[in-house]
Structure 1
Amino acid sequence: MNKENCDFSPMKQSLKIDIGQVIAALQSSLETMDNENYCLLGNFEKIKNRFVHIEMKAATFYLNCYLSPFTDKYLELSICVQNMSKRKHGGLIVIKREDSLESLIHPGISIEAELSHSLLESIFFPGNPLHDGAVLVSQNHIISAANVLPLSDRYTGDKKLGTRHRAALGLSEKSDALVLVVSEETGRISFAFNGSMYPITTAEVL
């Protein structure tokens, strides 16, 4: 993943500490392998859990980097997705970067309003006629809602994904747009970028 121009030093330092702890845990496991009375399986489980946590924290860090040149509304986006996550309200938010998206998105309903978490949350509130589509964000404004995105066909069979996640991946495969997804089944938050999906931590989003 290529780094954008960004400086989130506290989060970067936290990542370094976490990675250092995993390296120390692996080194400790290596040193105890000669002890036949000691089982390493419990250590491996703990290390695996740490890796998952680090992956989510790293995704959060890079999400900030990818968004910083294109929108100033970090706090509004953060509050929105965290509130939706807690309530398990599904959501799909496209943040336009440099590529034109006109030929890729089937346009929905024009909004043309300044981005705010309350407006985004109301759009995705269950029962709202606009809640099933994607919201398009450009810089600090909500351009439109109920947009239809191209679906990825890469994840099938045992790796089936919901429509929102397939739509997020589909657009990210064809453009440099970044797409935030909140799952209504689990409340988990993730983002799609360059054809890949990354989970992010709820407590440290943006």
Structure 2
Amino acid sequence: MTRISGRYFILAGILAILSGPAQALTCSNTGAGYDAWKKEFAAYAKTQGIGARGLEALAGTRYSQETINADRGQKSFKYSLEKFMKVRGADAIVAMGRKRKAQNAGFYANLEAAYGVPVGVLVAIHGMETGFGSGMGNTPVVSAIVTLTFDCRRSEFFRPHAIGALALVDQGSITPATKGAKHGELGHTQFLPGNARLYGVDGNGD
């Protein structure tokens, strides 16, 4: 019995070590301690391969109270589908989407052929997320996503996206000043940074 217990505690210790620094990161439901936490998160970011530019961007972030306010006040989850579509202006988006699809048939056909995603889905996402690029947000992406990683409510969910944002800064795809939506979504289709890093494609090769 003693031998089994000893092996159990050894295994538990090994698993604790292998679980890495991410499991030990602190969080807070207020902005208190944010600047000190950034140093803690920087140490973790280094283990994830983040370089000098990304770490500098992290150090320059500020606690985004507007992001927290938006996170706590998401009314759309309380709406019926009918009300949600009305609030988002779905009829206008559908009409505009049909027009854009007709005007750019070749472009959309090429996208569908390359990625296997139906044109209607692409147009719908583009329209619903940003009104076809007319409203992509005005919140600094890096500060927003790092704030949500510091916040206790969903820190584990947002952590890889914070690392993604810092990696995008490292590679020059975004800057600390890049703006997006309140939760750090960016671009025409409002991908979170971790997803943009994984799935983004440089369509024009620049």
- For normalisation by structure 1, the TM-score amounts to 0.28
Structure with greater proportional strand content:
1
**TM-score, normalisation: structure 2:** 0.28
Work out which of the two has the higher radius of gyration on C-alpha atoms and give 1 or 2. Answer: 2
